[in-house]
Structure formats: C-alpha cells, structure tokens
C-alpha cells in the first residue's frame, strides 16, 4: 500500500527555513580582517538585536580605487567614501534584509587614526552604518543624520560589550 506524503495531499508541509546568509568578500589588502569573530558578531546583531529572521547580506571590504569607482558610478560623487549600501529588498520581499555593503578599509584605517580608535572598531561602525541604511535609516538632513548617529552609537556600544564578554 502506498502512503501519500502531506505534500501529495495538497498540504504545504513545514514552512521553509528562513534564509540567513552573511557573506564577506575581501578585495582590499590594507590590513588583515579577522572574519570569524566579525561574522559571529554581525550574525548575532542581525538575528538577536535587529530580530531579523531572514537576510542575505554581502559585505565587501574594498580599497580606495574600488570605493571611488562605485561612489562615482552610483552616487555621482567624486573620491573616496567610507561605506556604500545597496538595498535589494524591493526585489526580495520574503527577506527582512537584502543588500550589499561596500566598506573602504583604508578609509577606516585613516579615520581610526583621526578619531584615535582602533581601525577594526571603525570598520565595524561602517558596517553597522550600512546595515542601518538597509533598514531604512537616512542621513541626508541634519535631523536624519542625528537619528542615525544615535542608533549607530547605541548599537556599536552594544556590540563592543558583547565582543568583550
């Protein structure tokens, strides 16, 4: 006797597992980035702090030339910038977050020296900034910048506490 599976009887079966993809692409040799702890910290940030069930995020660690090219091509701005975020969520409504973040490692190193912080902390700040953009934060007006900076600083403090446990 053949037994029908739930799917054979028209039942949809169990819901699909949520997609949780976090991919890193290193294309800047300015410094070595410890990806394993960064991946762990960001995965916790995305799943626990932001409570995202499903995401697909690419984090590209790039140099001055690539970030300048992307800045000119997509924002029509000349020169180096710290971070660019590209939101693809309109194409994938089943994901809570879908996008790519391009982070300029040499800029993180320069700004870390300027602000007297560790460059990996500055790099983390840029990634959080990019994620906030993908979550709808904007920084075009002074009020938007202040709101975003407040959220960014709050999350950075939380992540630092978590990373030092």
- The whole-angstrom separation of Cα 68 and Cα 104 is 9
- pLDDT tens, position by position, 77-121: 999 999 999 999 999 999 999 999 999 999 999 999 999 999 999
On whether the 20-163 domain is CATH 3.40.390.30, my answer is yes
Whole-number Å distance between alpha carbons of 61 and 4 = 50
pTM: 0.86
Q: Average pLDDT for residues 146-150, to the nearest whole number?
A: 96
Using one digit for the tens of pLDDT, what is the confidence trace for 10-35? Answer: 545 555 556 899 999 998 767 889 99
Give the tokens for residue 147: 């709101």
In this prediction, residue 7 has a pLDDT band, given cuts at 50, 70 and 90, of: very low
Encode pLDDT of 45-84 as tens digits.
Answer: 999 999 999 999 999 999 999 999 999 999 999 999 999 9
C-beta pairs of 19-22 under 8 Å, 24+ apart in sequence: 19/54, 19/55, 19/56, 19/95, 20/46, 20/47, 20/53, 20/54, 20/55, 21/55, 21/56, 21/57, 22/46, 22/55, 22/57, 22/59
Structure tokens at 37: 């702890």
Residue that wins the pLDDT comparison between 17 and 146: 146
Query: How far apart are the C-alpha atoms of 56 and 86, rounded to whole Å?
Result: 12
147 CB contacts (<8 Å, ≥6 apart)? 137
Query: In the prediction, which pLDDT does 28 show?
Result: 73
- The pLDDT score that the predictor gives to residue 12 is 55
What pLDDT does residue 27 have?
84
């Amino acid at each position: 006797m053949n037994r029908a599976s739930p799917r054979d009887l028209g039942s949809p079966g169990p819901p699909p597992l949520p997609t949780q993809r976090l991919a890193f692409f290193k294309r800047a040799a300015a410094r070595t980035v410890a990806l394993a702890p960064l991946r762990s910290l960001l995965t916790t940030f995305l799943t626990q702090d932001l409570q995202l069930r499903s995401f697909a995020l690419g984090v590209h660690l790039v140099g001055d030339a690539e970030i300048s090219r992307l800045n000119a091509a997509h924002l029509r701005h000349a020169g180096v910038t710290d971070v660019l975020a590209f939101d693809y969520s309109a194409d994938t409504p089943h994901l809570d977050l879908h996008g790519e973040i391009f982070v300029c490692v040499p800029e993180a190193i320069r700004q870390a020296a300027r602000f007297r912080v560790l460059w990996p902390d500055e790099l983390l700040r840029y990634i959080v900034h990019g994620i906030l953009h993908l979550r709808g934060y904007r920084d075009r007006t002074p009020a938007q910048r202040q709101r975003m900076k407040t959220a960014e600083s709050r999350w950075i403090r939380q992540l630092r506490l978590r990373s030092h446990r």
